[in-house]
Structure 1
Amino acid sequence: MSSKKIIDEFVVPKCTGKAFKVNKGQKFRVIEHEGKQVAGLIFLNAHNYKEQFMAEFSGGLNYFHPSHMGSHYRLSKLYSKVPYENVMLTVTDNKIGDHFLGPHCTKTMMEIWKAPGHQSCSDNFTNALREFGLALEDIYSPSVFNAFANATINPKGDGTIQIDPPRSEKGDYIEFLAEMDVLVAVSVCPDDQSAMNDHSCKAIKIQISESE
């Protein structure tokens, strides 16, 4: 019988970011360390940074697949952008199912929310990617995998985005299997202006494991 071998585990403090590598065949979990906290995720091919996860593209491929293997809110396969179109990761455990494929918070978004100078996910990603010699301008799209985000598009039929507090609680997680060597950048979303993090930012735990 195989058993899970944890090879790394760490807490990313609230309102910060971190980048780390996950090898092909390894799994990693994004865990609610304190509950009701969104984690924005960017994925890149660890050997070719030009190959990056494409959020909306993945949502479409999941939904239109003959098996209807996923949707915009519950992905099964995470694909890289064109012209690559490779499966980068597979979701292997996803009990909550609230994950929003959309933009991360930025300087301009905080200004719109009347919080100029407020820390944003853009700041967190910038700090996280710097360790690997990357800048935010190297990232193809501002749309990311917003784990645990309870946001819906067009709930009233008028094209608006509705943001509600996360339904996830302490200890809940989403688990991914790396289908290639990936560089992961996580932003522990610093948005306390909306209901995105239930108006209170918390830490996120990351756990990387492999099976024996």
Structure 2
Amino acid sequence: MAQSDRSHPPPQPAYQAAPGSILNADRSFYDSVAKAERIPTDSFTLPIRSGRAWQVPAGHIVRISTPDGPQVGDLNIWNLHNPRERFWAARTRQLHASHVSTYDRLWSCLPYLRPIVTIIGDSLADYGVDQYGGRCHDLLGTRCDPYVNKMLTGDSYDFHCHSNLIRAVVPFGLTEFDVHDVLNVFQVTGLNAEGKYFMEASPAKKGDFIEFFAEQPVLMALSTCPGGDLSTWGWGEGGAGEEGEKKSMLECCRPLKVEVFRLEDASVLKGWKEPEVPQYRGSHGMNVPVGEQQGCRS
């Protein structure tokens, strides 16, 4: 087994930025947004093992909370007017961390690459790193899905997060191909000594929350994971469990609440504007003729 060379300092993060960089959120600004008076514009409670999508104007706040106790949620986000621009979990993981919290931003995919939302509140921010190396609000894993379930168990089950998200976005003209890797809110995960992914029971309590500031107009979709709080987990339907089982997955399932707010005083957003896409020229270094007058010859 390879051993680390303790004579050298540990490697530095691959992506670092100076103060003022778009990677580093203006904490004073987002603190003022988080503390500002707000007016509710939408609110609903998402039942267990279901999904729902909703629209959020730029400059609004979204709160996802646990009204009845711990429950994991799988979150997707798209630009409201251009669903090709969507949340990019892998790049967010590289730019920030494997697990995100207050002041971290969720980034959109190429060729857009800009903040899609910024986290401005997290009641579990102090969870830190537990004894197993687990952290909260996971970007390491992705949504559970019926294809892996079928592969591992031979069973068909239609209420995994992937399926819940598909049903949620169909009314908005999207399809299965638009559903993408997620932010697992309230979920604790990590990598063990062998580098294998593990999950722990959610530490959320009744009333815990995470809040997002919409950096652009977005469509968000959320699934209440069929694994509930993940205190009991196993691939399969996970409904009633076998007789004598200590706890079934269904018993671990609880609703999630979603609230959307606009700021009462719009002046709080003075100076803020929707982030721009990087001004890369495109073409990727290629000089491709587009017709006869541009040098194309038969």
Bin for the TM-score computed over the shorter chain? 0.7 to 0.9
| Alignment CA distance shift 1:22-1:193 (3 Å) | closer
CA displacement 1:34-60 (0-9 Å, x = unmatched): 111011000000010100000111111
1:159 is aligned to: 195
| 1:144 aligns with one of 179, 182, 193 | 182
From the two aligned structures, give the one with the greater strand fraction.
1
CA displacement 1:90-146 (0-9 Å, x = unmatched): 00001214111121000133235637222211110111011101111133x3x2001
1:10 is aligned to: 44
Residue 40 (structure 1) aligned with residue 83 (structure 2):
no
Residue 182 (structure 1) aligned with residue 218 (structure 2):
yes
Bigger relative contact order, structure 1 or 2 (CA pairs below 8 A, ≥6 apart) = 1
| Alignment CA distance shift 1:193-1:80 (3 Å) | closer
CA contact (8 A) 1:149 1:196 kept: no
Kindly provide the amino acid, as one letter, of the partner of residue 192 in structure 2: P
Q: Aligned partners of 2:58 and 2:111: how far apart in 1?
A: 21
Kindly provide the amino acid, as one letter, of the partner of residue 115 in structure 2: V
Structure 1 or 2, whichever has the larger Rg, is: 2
**Structure 1: unaligned runs, 5 residues or longer:** 63-70
Q: Aligned partners of 1:201 and 1:113: how far apart in 2?
A: 22
| 2:98 aligns with one of 64, 72, 83 | 72
Residue 82 (structure 1) aligned with residue 82 (structure 2):
no
**Structure 2: unaligned runs, 5 residues or longer:** 1-34, 126-135, 234-246, 265-298
1:116 is aligned to: 155
Q: Aligned partners of 2:63 and 2:36: how far apart in 1?
A: 18
| 1:106 aligns with one of 145, 160, 181 | 145
Q: Cα offset for 1:159?
A: 1.6
Q: Aligned partners of 1:41 and 1:206: how far apart in 2?
A: 12
CA contact (8 A) 2:71 2:229 kept: no
Q: How many residues align?
A: 200
Q: Aligned partners of 1:145 and 1:192: how far apart in 2?
A: 15
- Name the Cα RMSD after superposition: 2.1
4+ residue runs of structure 1 moved beyond 2 angstroms? Answer: 108-115, 191-199
So what's the TM-score if we normalise by structure 1? 0.87
The sequence identity of aligned pairs, in percent, is: 28
Q: Aligned partners of 2:256 and 2:192: how far apart in 1?
A: 28
